Amino acid sequence: MAGPGAYIFDLDGVVYHGRSIIPGAAEIIERLRAAGSRVVFLTNNATRTREDIAAKLDGMGIGCSAGDVISSAYAASLHILKQYGPSSFFPIGEQGLVTELERAGHTMSGQNVDCVVVGLDRQFTYDKLAAGLDNLRKGARFIATNTDAMLPTENDFLPGAGSMVAALAAASGVEPEVVGKPNRPIMDVLLREYGLKAGECTMVGDRLETDILAGNNVGMHTVLVLTGASRMEDIEDLGIRPDTILDSIADIG
């Protein structure tokens, strides 16, 4: 497979499973960098800051800084800033989301906010849902970091951010602006942040309906690896076709 200017890697299911690195991942990433390719990690995870994600990769032997990571939380912070300017927000999400929003110049508040921003929240409660609903009914914008239905773990799946988003959408009757893969906002942030051209990028992911569709939509070369969520039979079922299919990240050559 010819190496374009940049490789865009999803994380869970591609580079690691939970706390376990996928065999060969560190070596392939080092080889790509040595060959002059830009390597960026693009994740729908909105629970951690970019520094936290980079530290996890670094601890696995993959050299990484915050500047190598685009998360849906970071992308949401820039999307809101570009579209609406500095905004007040009510979060349904974890500290990583709040930190990224505040760094971009947004202000957290409990009521009468400009935006309700929803990501994965493992302390999700009825009270949070009610507060989000109240703000939407008063005219706040509904921003979702992503709508992933499930969160992969080492051994199983847990409810993802899409579960919280769906609850608030059902209560309010309002459809959110969705930032994360496969939607355009996170891809626009990625391309703008690094000055990349989509046609010079390869998107490597394990989910057809997020990673591969996101890359296809903007004109990237797409690579499905079979170490995560999607299987070969899903290609026909979903009608989403990657350009290349590999058993693992270790097979990138």
3-state secondary structure the chain: CCCCCEEEECCECCCEECCEECCCHHHHHHHHHHCCCEEEEEECCCCCCHHHHHHHHHHCCCCCCHHHEEEHHHHHHHHHHHHHCCCEEEEECCHHHHHHHHHCCCEECCCCCCEEEECCCCCCCHHHHHHHHHHHHCCCEEEECCCCCEEECCCCEEECHHHHHHHHHHHHCCCCEECCCCCHHHHHHHHHHHCCCHHHEEEEECCHHHHHHHHHHHCCEEEEECCCCCCHHHHHHHCCCCCEEECCHHHCC
Token readout for 234 is: 């899903």
Annotated catalytic residue, options 12, 68, 114, 206: 12
Please choose, from the candidates 101, 30, 112, the residue with its C-alpha nearest in 3D space to the C-alpha of residue 72: 101
CB atoms within 10 A of CB 172: 19
Please choose, from the candidates 151, 154, 150, 148, the residue with its C-alpha nearest in 3D space to the C-alpha of residue 17: 154
Annotation says 12 is catalytic: yes
Annotation says 134 is catalytic: no
Which sequence positions are flagged as catalytic? 10, 12
